[in-house]
């Protein structure tokens, strides 16, 4: 078989990309109670009342006469697994915090009437603080609720990039009532780890949901910038929401893998990069199974799983840890009189690494030893979880 020149390979890649056609977007469940599904251990000490319109999370233990209950409104925009991981991190911290916090969860909605109703609720005086979970809720609160008396803690991807303020600049650059926790890691840091793992990259396919605006603006755009700067070939595989993901990935991942092999025949300097789009990482097993031996890595801790249907490694911010940090910000704002904007950008550091040694061995990926030292979660050569949150996950033999 004759060699394919980079120019020829690029032409073929372009042809393949033209075949990726958008499909109808997936609908969100109307019933809010279907959005939240938490493990029993995270709900210990809480009493939950759920309806189609709202979810109330209150302490099981009645307040003492000296305790003041601080009410928090939580605005949600998308039903996805990351929402549950964030809440799973938040609830134990809030349960054991020095301030008694109780939560009311509402959908922000996408229609003007729904959003105006939520804006009126946030401004009603019923709540001591508002939490925005996700980029759409953060953008809404930034644009419509900035500098209001009620403080806001917002958790979203790289807020300083797309909200138009720069951390460390004038405090007037962001609303005085808002504190932010980032759900993403610097792409430059991620690329540093990728290059240390695989050497100089030849081709990277970034997999994302085109309907997830923050993923497009933050993660996909960052990879375009890095590819132009560092000279590796970037391919893009964009699904069109959860409903289209299965069919589109089943068709396009093998095509992308073939195109990547044209550029890097041995596949040693190539990878599929799974973004924080839930429509994508929920299909991790499908992507990995169709990748034709090209490693799958990602920025979501939950992409690394038990067994062989797993990413080799994740480099990013675990949503559960971000939820814990967000809860500490809530307690800090409610427990002090300082403006929320005085809190620095909440960033998880150093990067969280999760590694599946079984998958690395199967794909002959050589892991630097210090990656293993740094990793908070490790699955062994049999695909079993042996380290979780930096602690041994299995009992030692007798």
More confident residue, 397 or 315: 315
Q: Report if residue 134 sits inside a domain.
A: yes
- 118 and 191 share one domain: no
Q: Report if residue 237 sits inside a domain.
A: yes
- Torsions phi, psi of 356, nearest 5? -110, 105
Q: Report if residue 1 sits inside a domain.
A: no
Q: How do 313-316 and 352-356 pair as beta strands?
A: antiparallel
Tokens of residue 92, six digits: 């134990």
Residue 26 has pLDDT above 60, yes or no: no
Angle at CA of residue 273, ends 267 and 275, nearest 5°: 170
Angle at CA of residue 194, ends 370 and 138, nearest 5°: 105
Reference 51, options 64, 69, 34; nearest CA is 34
Q: State the residue range of the domain holding 260.
A: 6-25+185-316+351-392
The confidence band for 171, taking pLDDT boundaries of 50, 70 and 90, is: very low
- 68 and 129 share one domain: yes
Q: Report if residue 254 sits inside a domain.
A: yes
User: Under a CB-based contact definition with an 8 Å cutoff, are residues 387 and 376 in contact?
Assistant: yes
User: Under a CB-based contact definition with an 8 Å cutoff, are residues 93 and 357 in contact?
Assistant: no
- 249 and 289 share one domain: yes
Residues in the chain: 398
The confidence band for 53, taking pLDDT boundaries of 50, 70 and 90, is: confident
Tokens of residue 127, six digits: 């709540």
- 45 and 155 share one domain: yes
- Residues whose CB is less than 8 angstroms from the CB of residue 78 and which lie 6 or more positions away in sequence, other chains included: 28, 134, 136, 278
Q: Tell whether the torsion through CA atoms of 196, 387, 352 and 75 is positive or negative.
A: positive
Rounded Cα distance between 226 and 187, Å, is 8
Tokens of residue 285, six digits: 């097993």
More confident residue, 3 or 297: 297
Query: Which CATH number goes with the domain that contains 247?
Result: 3.40.50.2300
Question: How confident is the model over 268-284, as pLDDT tens digits?
Answer: 999 999 998 888 988 99
- 117 and 245 share one domain: no
Q: Report if residue 243 sits inside a domain.
A: yes
Residue 59, pLDDT score? 95
Write the secondary structure of 290-301 as one string of H (helix), E (strand) and C (coil).
Answer: CCCCCCEEECCH
Beta-strand ranges (E) seen in the chain are: 46-50, 54-59, 69-76, 100-107, 129-133, 152-156, 178-182, 203-209, 233-239, 270-274, 296-298, 313-316, 352-356, 377-379, 385-388, 391-392
Residue 349, pLDDT score? 79
Residue 7, pLDDT score? 37
Question: How confident is the model over 351-373, as pLDDT tens digits?
Answer: 889 999 999 999 999 999 999 99
- 86 and 179 share one domain: yes
Tokens of residue 336, six digits: 């002090």
Residue 87 has pLDDT above 90, yes or no: yes
Quote the DSSP letter at residue 164: S
Rounded Cα distance between 281 and 209, Å, is 10
- 248 and 387 share one domain: yes
- The 10 Å Cβ neighbour count of residue 372 is 13
Residue 261, pLDDT score? 97
- 381 and 308 share one domain: yes
Q: Report if residue 270 sits inside a domain.
A: yes
Cα-based distances in Å from 106 to 32, 57, 125, 152, 320 = 8, 12, 16, 15, 20
- 239 and 385 share one domain: yes
What percent of the chain shows pLDDT beyond 70? 87
Residue 3, pLDDT score? 37
Q: What is the pTM of this model?
A: 0.76
- Residues whose CB is less than 8 angstroms from the CB of residue 129 and which lie 6 or more positions away in sequence, other chains included: 70, 71, 72, 73, 150, 151, 152, 153, 330, 333, 334
Q: Report if residue 385 sits inside a domain.
A: yes
Q: Which residues is 297 bridged to in the sheet?
A: 273, 313
More confident residue, 395 or 215: 215
- 87 and 146 share one domain: yes
Rounded Cα distance between 178 and 393, Å, is 37
Q: Report if residue 18 sits inside a domain.
A: yes
Rounded Cα distance between 175 and 42, Å, is 32
B/e letters for 128-147, b = 16+ CB within 10 Å, e = fewer, are bbbbbbbbbbbbbbbeebee
- 106 and 132 share one domain: yes
User: Under a CB-based contact definition with an 8 Å cutoff, are residues 89 and 323 in contact?
Assistant: yes
- 387 and 270 share one domain: yes
How many structural domains compose the chain? 2
């Amino acid at each position: 078989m004759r060699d394919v020149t980079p120019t020829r390979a690029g032409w073929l890649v372009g042809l393949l990309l033209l075949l990726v056609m958008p499909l109808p977007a997936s609908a969100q469940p109307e019933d809010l109670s279907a959005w939240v599904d938490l493990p029993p251990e995270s709900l210990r000490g809480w009493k939950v009342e759920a309806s189609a319109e709202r979810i109330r999370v209150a302490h099981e233990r009645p307040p003492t006469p000296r305790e003041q209950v601080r009410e928090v409104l939580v605005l949600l925009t998308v039903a996805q697994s990351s929402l549950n991981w964030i809440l799973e991190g938040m609830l134990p911290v809030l349960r054991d915090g020095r301030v008694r916090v109780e939560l009311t969860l509402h959908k922000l909605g996408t229609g003007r009437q729904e959003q105006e109703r939520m804006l009126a609720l946030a401004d009603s005086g019923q709540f001591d603080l508002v939490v925005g979970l996700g980029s759409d809720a953060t953008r809404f609160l930034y644009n419509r609720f900035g500098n209001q008396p009620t403080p806001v803690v917002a958790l979203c991807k790289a807020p300083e990039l797309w909200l138009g303020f720069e951390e460390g600049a004038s405090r007037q650059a962001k609303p005085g009532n808002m504190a932010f926790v980032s759900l993403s890691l610097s792409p430059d840091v991620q690329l540093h780890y990728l290059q240390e793992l695989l050497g100089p990259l030849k081709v990277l396919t970034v997999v994302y949901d085109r309907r997830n605006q923050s993923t497009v603006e933050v993660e996909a755009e960052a990879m375009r910038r890095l590819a132009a700067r560092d000279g590796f070939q970037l391919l893009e595989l964009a699904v069109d929401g959860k409903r289209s993901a299965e069919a589109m990935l089943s068709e396009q991942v093998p095509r992308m893998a073939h195109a990547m092999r044209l550029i890097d025949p041995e596949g040693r300097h190539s990878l599929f990069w799974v973004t924080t789009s839930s429509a994508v990482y929920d299909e991790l097993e499908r992507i990995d199974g169709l990748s034709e031996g090209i490693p799958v890595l990602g920025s979501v801790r939950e992409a690394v799983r038990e067994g062989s249907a797993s990413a080799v490694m994740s480099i990013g911010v675990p949503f559960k840890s971000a939820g814990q940090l967000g809860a500490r910000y809530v307690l800090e704002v409610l427990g002090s009189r300082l403006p929320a904007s005085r809190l620095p950008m909440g960033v998880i550091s150093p990067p969280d690494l999760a590694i599946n040694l079984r998958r690395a061995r199967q794909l002959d990926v050589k892991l630097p030893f210090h990656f293993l030292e740094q990793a908070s979660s490790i699955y062994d050569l049999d695909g079993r979880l042996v380290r979780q949150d930096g602690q041994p996950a299995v009992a030692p033999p007798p």
